[in-house]
Amino acid sequence: MVIWITGLSGAGKTTLIQAVAGQVKRNLPELVLLDGDAIRQLFGNDLDYREDSRVIQIKRIQRMAKFLSDQGVVVMVAALYAHPDLLRWNRDNFAEYFEIYIQASLALVGARDSKGLYARAARNETENVVGIDIPWHPPAEADLVIDADSGEPVDVMATRVIAAIPRLRRGSGKA
């Protein structure tokens, strides 16, 4: 199974997959997390942030997720770039697939801005920022939409994710 979480930089993707894992990993040891930033580091940060490089990055994550899920591993992915063609590939190629969109306003992610990305973009010190000069494509067919602007605590969001996915419910002990 592949659980694909997407949203703008700063929406809370990594925080959410870690919170879900914290609640289910003990009873679901076959759970693996693939975080976009970690995958970049794993490949030696060999890609820039232009749109064509973002596509390569997502295709890497897709291949890794498929390789693992085909072996019975439950894969949770936190990935930024969400072009409709790439998300369609997921639906067409993963036997079990669940898509989560963390919807977050630019005001919220700009306020969080832990990487300083939006601040640098506002000062014209960087480019290739999804949602600023690279188009953001909100997923049209997400199985679950989480509103990050609601202020809902991450543990509550994680519980909602677990409740929506039977495989995770079994891992939480609340099947």
Q: Look at residues 28, 140, 20, 129 and name the one whose alpha carbon lies nearest to residue 78.
A: 20
For helices 51-69 and 84-93, angle between their N-to-C axes, nearest 10 degrees: 10
> What integer pLDDT is reported at residue 175 of this predicted model?
54
Give the CATH number, domain containing residue 131.
3.40.50.300
Long-range contacts at 35-39 (CB < 8 A, ≥ 24 apart): 35/77, 35/78, 36/61, 36/77, 36/78, 36/79, 36/80, 39/64
> What integer pLDDT is reported at residue 103 of this predicted model?
97
> What integer pLDDT is reported at residue 173 of this predicted model?
65
> What integer pLDDT is reported at residue 17 of this predicted model?
97
Structural domain for 144, as ranges: 2-172
pTM of the model: 0.94
pLDDT in tens, the chain (175 residues): 999 999 999 999 999 999 999 999 999 999 999 999 999 999 999 999 999 999 999 999 999 999 999 999 999 999 998 899 999 999 999 999 999 999 999 999 989 888 888 889 889 898 998 989 999 999 999 999 999 999 999 999 999 999 999 999 876 666 5
Phi and psi at residue 24, in whole multiples of 5°?
Answer: -120, -15
- How many structural domains are present in the chain? 1
> What integer pLDDT is reported at residue 165 of this predicted model?
96
